């Protein structure tokens, strides 16, 4: 089972990392921290490449974290009426 997960993560590459970060940032229940740690082991990137991946991953995480923010912003008035 573990071999299947590791081989799937290797096949997906950087796209899989960014996809897992987007799922985690959108507040869906997902073990994103474990996936990011696994990718840190799998990708074995140089220092400069790691910096680029970190900047890209931070941007994706920030972008997708606006999803729960916008949902909360849109529902704020409706929830105050219920209380």
User: Is the predicted pLDDT of residue 76 greater than 90, yes or no?
Assistant: no
pLDDT at position 70: 93
CA distance 43 to 17: 10
Mean pLDDT is highest, among 5-9, 41-45, 54-58, for: 54-58
Q: Is the dihedral of CA 34, 39, 44, 45 positive or negative?
A: negative
* Phi, psi angle pair for 13, to nearest 5°: 65, -140
17-36: pLDDT as tens digits: 999 999 999 988 888 888 88
pTM above threshold 0.85: no
């Amino acid at each position: 089972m573990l071999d299947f997960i590791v081989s799937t993560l290797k096949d997906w590459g950087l796209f899989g990392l960014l996809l897992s970060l987007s799922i985690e940032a959108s507040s869906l229940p997902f073990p994103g921290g474990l996936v990011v740690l696994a990718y840190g082991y799998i990708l074995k990137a140089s220092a400069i490449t790691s910096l680029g991946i970190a900047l890209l991953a931070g941007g994706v995480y920030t972008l997708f974290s606006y999803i729960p923010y916008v949902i909360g912003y849109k529902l704020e008035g409706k929830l105050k009426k219920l209380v």
